[in-house]
Structure 1
Amino acid sequence: MTASPVDPVSAYVGADIASIGPEQRAQIAERWGLDDPPLQRFGTWLSHIARGDLGQSHAFNQPVADVIANKFLTSLALMAVAWCFSGIIGFTLGIVAGVRRGRWADRIITWWAYTLSSAPTFWVGLLLLYVFSVSLQWTPICCAVPVGAVAGEVGLLDRLHHLLLPALTLSLVGIAPVVLHTRQAVAVAMASDYVAFARAQGERTFGLVVHRVLRNAAGPALLLQFTSLGELFGGSVLAEQVFSYPGLGAATTTAALGQDVPLLLAIALFTTVFVYTGNQLGDLLHSWIDPRTRRLEAAR
């Protein structure tokens, strides 16, 4: 950040930069500690973190903790809906593709998953925005609430209406890896000896999937779903920019473009804890669903 050509004071003042004099610029720089060497500024930030103080955001002129708390609540709804949609739809399509491996349903689902995994989040968002908001006019073009409305007076249906398209964008991008991993797990299970033995006893495909395949496929899918929280947050940064959604992703972009180092560092720290927690939950659920992983760890 210190090597960026963006001047933090100019980014903070904006269009009124010509109206302030050198003395005012120097006062702002001194207040933010911009005259100190980068290592000294980083050490100061670490000492404040150790005391539980995340600092003051330059871009929002608020404590960093308040900015993250407010913005994350907005992003949490978006990411939670997208996370649930991508997990449920991806797992269902992966089971269908794995059971029908090599058939037309598998080919269509696999082609669709590979296409989505190659598509950038912002491109998917722009495409959906053009189709549903511009052409069909079914969904709002931007924001988390209607333009000009007070956030506290907006009802649940209006919020869900504005949430729908950004969440659909994130879920479509997140579906692809779940589909592909689940398909592989189901295909391996369907080719196993115990499934062949159950077929010989007359068990039908639906019973095989429910009683013998579903649990084997659920473990890898859950593990992947929880470990994808980092990609989910990264995708939300792009999706929130496309839809002007005022969440933590948009705050990250604002902090980066405005040289708001305290806010950007705190968001990086928060994201690290967020992703680490997701990875740990995924490991715990995977070992609970599939006891074989616990035996492998005990053998090591």
Structure 2
Amino acid sequence: MYPFFYKFLGEIFMNKIYKHFLRMVALLLGLALLIFILAYFSPIDPVQAYLVQDINITPEQVANLKEHWGLNKPMYQQFFHWLFSILQGDFGISRLYHAPVLRIVKEAFLNSFILMMISWIFSGILGFILGSLAAFYHESKIDKIIRWYSYTLVSVPANVMGLILLIIFGVWFKIFPVGLSTPVGILSQNVTFLQKLHHFILPCLTLTFLGIAYATMHTRRLMITVLNSDYVLFAKARGDNLWQIFRKHVFKNSVIPVTIVQFAGFGELFGGSALAESVFAYHGLGSVMIQAGLKGDLPLLLGTALISSLFVFCGNMTADILSELLDPRIAKEEALNE
């Protein structure tokens, strides 16, 4: 019985991963085509954005530059040339940085990944603690204060939160630098860990404060549902104290759904990271993508868009698969529907 059961589950999840893979390929192709269309009809001229203002250049030189970049070809030819190059592992050369796109994306993604993951972990832990307090002291002053904090921060965009922290801690108190990921005038290989950490704290605090609000709201809602369940009410009637109820019933029935929601929030996390990076001029994937879009650097824009979409998709896929692994009822329902 058990081998058949595990084999059955294995087939279900392999089919699930296969379907996710097909969706991912379709998503990336559709996204790349959409970016190509928008960039092709964009009012931003890549040549003029690339050149320094007031530079003397002849129309023949502009035409030669467009021919060198392949901008004189029809859009479908440009798209398929880029697509075939991607399949061969060639993401092209960035017009803005004069370097391979893959190298730029790798460096920027590493910075963004560290920033997002650390803020994701801290916001999840602190949000779970605050949400637990709000749920256990439902409708008390503690709950009202935590709800006010959460509702306020949820409505604040990441760039506004970044500006507030920058003004307070960077301009007024001068505790942290006002921008960049490393000190000015120092070679990257000579930058120490403490210097990087000094520039890292404000962007990380920005994402953490905003992430705490979302995690708190989800945790509070889930825990209130668990606290009103029959088995918790029975535990209260049996005389269990709050710590026993939390340890035996509430924690294990709420930490998994909260973790799944955290994974599903990767899209919001990346969007907030892009805004925070632009405020602090932090060299990450979001800020590089914004610069590539403003400067008409299509190879770099496509490379950053694909990697960021892949990151968000993997987060959503992880949340979907975890929800089925940890709650077999979902997998059973989907299998019956199919």
Residue identity opposite 1:92 in structure 2 = I
Aligned counterpart for 2:178 among listed residues 120, 141, 144: 141
1:83 to 1:130, Cα distance in 2 relative to 1, 3 A? same
The offset of 1:187, in angstroms, is: 0.2
The offset of 1:197, in angstroms, is: 0.6
Aligned counterpart for 1:40 among listed residues 77, 94, 97: 77
Q: Does 1:252 align with 2:289?
A: yes
The offset of 1:69, in angstroms, is: 0.6
Does the aligned pair in 1 maintain the 2:285–2:308 contact within 8 Å? no
Match of 1:228 in 2: 265
Matches within 5 A, 1:90-105: 90-105=127-142
The offset of 1:73, in angstroms, is: 1.4
Residue identity opposite 1:242 in structure 2 = V
The offset of 1:14, in angstroms, is: 2.0
Equivalents in 2 of 1:7, 1:295: separation in Å?
53
**TM score, norm. by length of structure 2:** 0.84
Task: Specify the SS of the correspondent of 1:62.
Answer: coil
Q: Does 1:12 align with 2:46?
A: no
Q: CA RMSD in A?
A: 1.6
The offset of 1:48, in angstroms, is: 1.5
1:22 to 1:257, Cα distance in 2 relative to 1, 3 A? same
Match of 1:275 in 2: 312
Q: Does 1:119 align with 2:156?
A: yes
Does the aligned pair in 2 maintain the 1:237–1:248 contact within 8 Å? yes
My pick for the range that moved more, 141-150 or 118-127, is 141-150
Equivalents in 1 of 2:206, 2:216: separation in Å?
16
Match of 2:61 in 1: 24
Equivalents in 2 of 1:260, 1:220: separation in Å?
40
Q: Does 1:58 align with 2:95?
A: yes
Q: Does 1:154 align with 2:191?
A: yes
Residue identity opposite 1:214 in structure 2 = F
Task: Specify the SS of the correspondent of 1:210.
Answer: helix
Q: Does 1:3 align with 2:45?
A: no
1:139-162, Cα deviation, whole Å (9 max, x unpaired): 111111122122211221221111
Equivalents in 1 of 2:258, 2:335: separation in Å?
23
Identity of aligned residues (%): 42
Residue identity opposite 2:184 in structure 1 = V
Match of 2:206 in 1: 169
Equivalents in 2 of 1:204, 1:239: separation in Å?
43
1:97-150, Cα deviation, whole Å (9 max, x unpaired): 111111111111111111111001111000000011111111111111122122
Equivalents in 2 of 1:296, 1:203: separation in Å?
35
The offset of 1:289, in angstroms, is: 4.2
Task: Specify the SS of the correspondent of 1:220.
Answer: helix
Equivalents in 2 of 1:227, 1:189: separation in Å?
21
The offset of 1:49, in angstroms, is: 1.6
User: Can you give the 5+ residue segments of structure 2 that lack an aligned partner in the other structure?
Assistant: 1-38
The offset of 1:284, in angstroms, is: 3.4
Task: Specify the SS of the correspondent of 2:55.
Answer: helix
Match of 1:72 in 2: 109
1:176-220, Cα deviation, whole Å (9 max, x unpaired): 221111101100100111001111111101111111011221122
Aligned counterpart for 2:301 among listed residues 252, 264, 268: 264
Equivalents in 2 of 1:158, 1:50: separation in Å?
39
Residue identity opposite 1:9 in structure 2 = V
Equivalents in 2 of 1:186, 1:72: separation in Å?
35
Does the aligned pair in 2 maintain the 1:59–1:255 contact within 8 Å? yes
Count of residues paired in the alignment = 299
The offset of 1:292, in angstroms, is: 4.6
Equivalents in 2 of 1:152, 1:286: separation in Å?
43
**TM score, norm. by length of structure 1:** 0.95
